[in-house]
Amino acid sequence: MLMQTPFRAEGIVTNISTDANGTQHIGLHRIPDRSGLWRYLGTTLLMFSMLGCAVYNSVQAFRRYQRHRTRIAEIQSYYESCLNPTLIDDPESLIR
C-alpha cells in the first residue's frame, strides 16, 4: 500500500543507499527558494563579519602584546635611572 502512494520530490540527489530489508533510501538536498537564498546570503555575511572581527581582534591582541613588552622595558629603564642617576651626562657638554 505504501508503494502505491503517489508523491513528488524535488532536489539534488546526495545519497542512495539500501537497507537490510532491500528498501532504497534516497537522500535529497532541496533546491533553495527565495527565502532560502536570503538565509544563505545572511549566513554568509554573518560569517564574513565574524571572520573580520576575529582578524581585527587578533591584530589588536598582537599590537597590545608588543606594546606591553616595550612598556615593561621602558619602566625598567626608568626605575634604573631613578635608582642610579647620572649627575653629569657628558663632560664635553659643560665646556661649550
Residue 58 located in a structural domain: yes
pLDDT over 90, % of the chain? 44
Say if residues 25 and 13 touch (Cβ distance below 8 Å). no
| Structural domain boundaries enclosing 42 | 34-84
Q: Which three cell numbers stand for residue 75?
A: 619602566
Residue 59 located in a structural domain: yes
Q: What integer pLDDT is reported at residue 94 of this predicted model?
A: 62
- Over the chain, what is the mean pLDDT? 86
Q: What is the model's pTM?
A: 0.52
Tens of pLDDT, residue by residue over 8-19, are 888 888 999 999
Q: What integer pLDDT is reported at residue 91 of this predicted model?
A: 63
Question: Which contacts (CB < 8 Å, 24+ apart) does range 79-85 have?
Answer: none
pLDDT tier at 82 (50, 70, 90 boundaries)?
Answer: confident
Residue 29 located in a structural domain: no
| Selected residue with higher pLDDT from 50 and 26 | 50
Q: How many domains does the chain have?
A: 1
* Closest to 13 in 3D by CA, of 29, 32, 36: 29
Residue 1 located in a structural domain: no
